[in-house]
Amino acid sequence: MSLNTQTPVQLLTSVTKFIFGKSLPPQLLISTVRTSWSTLWLLMMSQLAPSDPSGSYTRPTSQFLKPKLSNLNQMSLHLYAALPCPWAHRTLIVRALKGLEHVVPVSIASPGLDGSWVFKENENGIPGRDKTGQERDRLMPTRDKVSGVGTVREVYKMRKGGYDGRCTVPMLWDVVNKEVVCNESYDIIELLNSGFNDVARCPDLDLCPVELKGKIEEWNGVIYPNINNGVYRCGFAQSQEAYDTAVNELFSALDKVDDHLKGSRYLCGDKLTLADVCLFTTLIRFDLVYNVMFKCTKKKVVEYPSLHGYMRDIYQIPGVAETCNLEAMMDGYYKFLFPLNPGNIRPIMPTGSHHETLLQSHNRESLSTSQQSEQVLVS
C-alpha cells in the first residue's frame, strides 16, 4: 500500500513500525508524550470543567434566573434541550408529566465535536427509531424549530445586545421578544410545574405542593451537591484528593437515599415531586455513563435494590420513558467528552439499563400508605 493511499492511522502505524520495529518506543518518547498529554489534558479540563485550587470541579452558575410570571407570554415560549444532558432532561420530564407539549414546543440539540450544542435532524431519518431500526416512541434530535440556525450559541446571540457567555441547555426562549427567559434548570421546572396550569393537560398534578416544599428543599440539599453535581465532581476532578472527597460524598448520599427508599415509595412519601425528577435524571445515567466514565465505580445503581426499583418505578410513569433516549445519553458522553474518552469508543450498554429491564415489575406501589391502608382493611 502506497503512503498516499493510507489513512492517518495507517500512516502513523507504518512510520512507528519503521522506526521502532517490533520493540516498544523508547522511554524518553513515552515520558515526553505522557508529559505533553497531561499538560494538554489539564488545559482542556480547565475550559471544560473549571476547578478550585484543590482540583475540585466548580460548576459555573447560570446567567438567566427565575423569570417573572407576569412578564411572560405563555404562547411565545420555546424550550431548547439536549438528550444527553441530565439538567435538560429534568425539563423534558416535567413538560411531559404536566402535559405541556402543545404549549411549550421543544428543539433538541445534539453535542458537537467542538463542545457546543448543534442542531441536526434525526440521523436515522425515521422519528422514534433507534440505530437498530427498532421503533419506539421517544424524543430524538431535531433542527432548530424557531429560526433554523445551526447551533444553540446562535440562538443566544439573537437576543438584544447579543451574548458572549456560556450557551447551555436547557434554555427557555421568548420567540416574540427574542430573549432568553431562563437557563437555570430548576427554575424552569418550577415554572413548568406551576406557571401553565390554565393550559396544561394535567393541571392537577403538583410536583411541588406547599405542604411538601420543606421536604423537597431538604432532599435537594442532599441530592444536588452530592449526587447530581457529585458525579461531575468525580469525573471532572483534577486531583486525587478532589476525587476521593467527591466519590465518598457521592456514595454516602446514595446509601442514605437507598436506605430511605426502603420504606418510602418516593423521596417525600407517596407523591412524586421535583426532588424525585432531579434524582431520576442522574440515576438513569449512572450505570450507563457515570459508573464507568466518571469513575463512580464503588457500586452501580442496579446493586441498590431500592434505588433500582425506584428508578424503574419513575421510568414506567406514562410519558417519562419517552424522554429517555438511552443510546443518545451514552453517545453524548462517550463520543464527545474527548478529554475523558480520547478514543471515542462507547462501551456496550449494561443489561440493567436496557429498556426491557427498566419495564420489569418494581412492586414499589406496596410502599404507598394508601395501598397499605387498603391491605389493612382487607385483612
For the annotated binding site for glutathione, the residues are 117, 166-169, 184-185
- Within 8 A by CB and 6+ apart from 10, the residues are 1
For 357, the 3-state DSSP assignment is: helix
The yes-or-no answer on residue 208 being catalytic is no
d(CA 142, CA 154): 16
Q: Are 148 and 125 in contact (CB under 8 A)?
A: no
Place of cell 444553540: 152
The single-letter DSSP state of residue 365 is G
Catalytic residue among 156, 163, 224, 232: 232
Give me the DSSP letters along 145-204: TTT--SBHHHHHHTSTT---S---SSEEEETTTTEEEE--HHHHHHHHHHS-TTT-S-TT
State residue 87 phi and psi, 5-degree precision: -70, -40
The yes-or-no answer on residue 85 being catalytic is yes
Specify the pairing of strand 77-82 against strand 171-174.
antiparallel
d(CA 308, CA 134): 25
Catalytic residue among 57, 80, 85, 278: 85
d(CA 2, CA 357): 50
d(CA 57, CA 232): 7
d(CA 21, CA 373): 76
Catalytic positions, written as ranges:
85, 232
